[in-house]
Amino acid sequence: MQRKPVGIVGASGYSGIEATRILAEHPGVELRFVTSDRWQGATVQDRLGINHSAGRLAYQGLDRSEELARDCAAVLLATPAESSLELAPRLAKKGVKTIDLSGAFRLKNAAEYPSFYNFVHPAPEALAGAAYGLPELFRSEIGRASLIANPGCYPTGASLAVAPLLRQKLVEDSSIIIDACSGTTGAGRKGNEELSFTEVDEDFRAYRVLRHQHLPEISEALTRCAGRRVPVTFTAHLLPIKRGILSTVYAKLSSGARSEDLTQAFKEFYRSEPFVTVLGSPDEVNLRSVVGTNRCTIGIASDRTGYDPGRVVVVSAIDNLVKGAAGQAVQNLNIALGFPEEQALACLRGFYP
Let me know whether 230 and 139 are in one domain: no
Let me know whether 159 and 283 are in one domain: yes
Residues annotated as catalytic (active site), given as ranges: 153
Q: Which pLDDT tens digit goes with each residue over 116-137?
A: 999 999 999 999 999 999 999 9
DSSP designation for 9: E
User: Is residue 177, in this structure, part of any structural domain at all?
Assistant: yes
Let me know whether 121 and 184 are in one domain: no
User: Is residue 345, in this structure, part of any structural domain at all?
Assistant: no
Residue 99 phi/psi, 5° resolution? -110, 115
Let me know whether 193 and 51 are in one domain: no
Let me know whether 201 and 112 are in one domain: no
Let me know whether 218 and 72 are in one domain: no
**Where in the sequence is the domain holding 276, given as residue range(s)?**
154-320
Let me know whether 159 and 305 are in one domain: yes
Using alpha carbons, list the distances in angstroms from residue 274 to 92, 134, 303. 29, 13, 29
Q: Which pLDDT tens digit goes with each residue over 61-89?
A: 999 999 999 999 999 999 999 999 999 99
- Whether 26 and 343 have beta carbons less than 8 Å apart is answered as yes
User: Is residue 145, in this structure, part of any structural domain at all?
Assistant: yes
User: Is residue 312, in this structure, part of any structural domain at all?
Assistant: yes
Using alpha carbons, list the distances in angstroms from residue 299 to 164, 267, 282. 12, 10, 4
User: Is residue 299, in this structure, part of any structural domain at all?
Assistant: yes
- Whether 73 and 6 have beta carbons less than 8 Å apart is answered as yes
Alpha carbon distance 41, 22 (integer Å): 21
User: Is residue 349, in this structure, part of any structural domain at all?
Assistant: no
Tell me the average pLDDT of the chain. 95
Let me know whether 229 and 259 are in one domain: yes
Q: Which pLDDT tens digit goes with each residue over 283-317?
A: 999 999 999 999 999 999 999 898 999 999 999 99
pLDDT exceeds cutoff 80 at 235 = yes
CATH number of the structural domain spanning residue 104: 3.40.50.720
Provide the domain count of the chain: 2
Q: Which pLDDT tens digit goes with each residue over 26-71?
A: 999 999 999 999 999 999 999 999 988 999 999 999 999 999 999 9
Let me know whether 158 and 304 are in one domain: yes
